[in-house]
Chains A and B, each alone.
Chain A
Amino acid sequence: MMALRRTMLYLPGNNPNMLMRGHLFKPDGVILDLEDSVSLGEKEAARTLVRETLKNVDFGECEVTVRINGLDTPFWKRDLEEVIPWGIDGIRVPKVETPQDVKLLDEAISEIENKHNLPEGKVQITCLLETALGIWNAYHIATASKRVTAICPGGEDLRADLKTSRSENSEELVSPRRMVVLAAHAAKVDPLDTVFADITDDEGLRRETQWVKQIGYQGKSVIHPNQIPIIHDVFTPTEKEIAQAQKIVQAAKEAAEKGLGAVSVDGKMVDRPVVKRAEYVLQRAGLLEGGE
Chain B
Amino acid sequence: MKTAQAGTLESMDCLVTASAAERGKGIFITMEGANIARFRDSILKTAKATLQELGIKDVVLSIQFNGANDVVLKARVEAAARTLMGGEE
Residues of B contacting A57 in the complex (Cβ-Cβ under 8 angstroms): 71
CB atoms of A44 and B88 under 8 A apart = yes
Q: Do residues B75 and A51 form an inter-chain contact, with CB atoms below 8 A?
A: yes
Of B8, B13, B74, B82, the residue contacting A44 (CB under 8 A) is B82
- Interface residue B59 (Cβ < 8 Å from any Cβ of A): no
Closest to B8 in A: A14
Instruction: Please state if A16 and B68 are interface contacts (CB–CB under 8 Å).
Output: yes
Q: Are A17 and B83 in contact (CB under 8 A)?
A: no
A48 to B7, CA, bound (A): 11
Chain A nearest Cβ from B26, distance in angstroms: 24
Q: Which 7 A-B pairs have the closest CB atoms?
A: A45-B6, A45-B79, A52-B75, A49-B75, A48-B79, A44-B88, A16-B72
Q: Which residues of A come within 8 Å of B, CB atoms?
A: 14-17, 20, 40-41, 43-45, 47-49, 51-53, 55-57
Q: Which bucket holds chain B's interface residue count?
A: 20 to 34
Cα distance A93–B23 in the bound complex, in angstroms: 42
Question: Which residue from A16, A20, A44, A55 sits with its C-beta under 8 Å from B83?
Answer: A44
Q: Name the A residues within 8 Å of B69 (CB-CB).
A: 16, 20
Give the shortest distance, in Å, between A76 (CB) and chain B (any CB).
Answer: 14
Question: Shortest beta-carbon distance, A25 to chain B, in Å?
Answer: 16
Q: Is there an interface contact between A48 and B6, defined as CB atoms closer than 8 Å?
A: yes
From the candidates B68, B71, B79, name the one contacting A56 in the complex (CB within 8 A): B71
> Contact at B6–A17, with CB atoms within 8 Å?
no
Closest A residue by C-beta to B70: A56
Answer whether residue B52 sits at the interface, using C-beta atoms and an 8 A cutoff: no
Q: Contact between B13 and A48 (Cβ–Cβ < 8 Å)? A: no
A43 partner residues in chain B, CB cutoff 8 A: 89
Residue of B nearest to A19 (CB): B72
